[in-house]
Amino acid sequence: MTPNFGQTRSDIRRNHALLTPESHEWITQPDWPGSELAFLISPDMGANFAMGLVRSAEGLTDIAPAAQGIARFVFVLDGEVTFSTGQTLGAEGYAFLPPETEATLGASAGVTFLLMEWRFVPRGEIPAPVFGKVSDIEGTPLRGDDWLIVQKMLPTDAGFDGEVNIMNFHPGASLAYVETHFMEHGLLMLDGGGVYRLDDQWYPVGKGDAIWMGPHVPQWFGALGRVPSRYLIYKNYNRSPLDAR
Ligand code: UGY
Ligand code: MN
């Protein structure tokens, strides 16, 4: 076997990180029996949320809900995820489970899904769980650009302390300007690829790559190639910059 000479595209910095598939570390956790998990983003690196991949060769039953006060978001990449409350999610199905949701989680053999968890910041009434699938969501052009379509997976009302969107880029489309904002992001590339600017670095990115963007990090994406590019992106939202971390 050829050695890889210590190379990876993963790059972990003070205010952003690129996490690429060849450097994933799959581990087990006591509260996820039967699974392997690759945590890609976590508070240890400065993020205010955790994001990772979960996979299971034999399938899962009765996985306990998230810890007290923690919201959970699941996005299915392969296979099926089920909840004890009766919902079944196929590929690109998703679930938002607010803190203290009772439902346990199951999954089919060969499942892989994205898992995000964060300490929920309530503003009034805590929203009910949300279940859906990406193909059912109507997209809207971002700031009038019909080459850049956003699908919002969660309702936009103020009870939600975050949003999770799919951004669809026509080949050659790009963000209109370099964004800087205090809200942070977790991102997973779903299709296509291009160049992601993070702070003062320009990274080639493609399907399967994950990105953490910390508060205020300058960010820009340009889609390259002949096929559309898509990414899933989490953003803390409806929060004041003065909310305690
Ligand atoms: O919603 C956002 O802030 C989004 N446009 N950011 C991004 O794609 N990096
Ligand atoms: Mn942004």
* CATH numbers and ranges of domains, the chain: 13-134 (2.60.120.10), 136-236 (2.60.120.10)
Q: Verify whether ligand 1 is closer than 6 Å to residue 82 (CB atom).
A: no
Confidence of residue 1 (pLDDT cuts 50, 70, 90): confident
Residue 245 has pLDDT above 80, yes or no: no
Confidence of residue 243 (pLDDT cuts 50, 70, 90): confident
For the four alpha carbons of 66, 187, 126 and 94, in that order, the dihedral sign comes to negative
Nearest alpha carbon, ligand 1 atom 9: 219
Q: pLDDT at position 2, please? A: 83
Q: pLDDT at position 4, please? A: 87
Residue 106 has pLDDT above 80, yes or no: yes
Q: How far is the CA of 129 from the centre of ligand 2 (A)?
A: 25
Q: Verify whether ligand 1 is closer than 6 Å to residue 179 (CB atom).
A: yes
Nearest alpha carbon, ligand 1 atom 2: 235
Rounded to 5 degrees, φ, ψ at 22 are -70, -10
- Choose which residue among 140, 235, 237 to substitute to test ligand 1 binding: the one with the highest number of ligand atoms within 8 A of its C-beta: 235
Average pLDDT over the chain reads 97
Q: Contact 103/127 with Cβ under 8 angstroms?
A: no
CA-only gyration radius of the chain, Å: 18
Residue 209 has pLDDT above 80, yes or no: yes
Task: Give the sheet arrangement for strand 88-89, strand by strand.
Answer: 60-63, 105-107, 81-83, 88-89
- Residue 136, C-beta contacts closer than 8 angstroms, at least 6 positions apart: none
Estimate the share of the chain in helix, then strand, then coil, as percent rounded to the nearest 5.
Answer: 5, 45, 50
Q: pLDDT at position 222, please? A: 98
Q: What mean pLDDT do residues 149-167 have?
A: 96
Residue 36 has pLDDT above 90, yes or no: yes
Q: pLDDT at position 122, please? A: 92
Q: Verify whether ligand 1 is closer than 6 Å to residue 145 (CB atom).
A: no
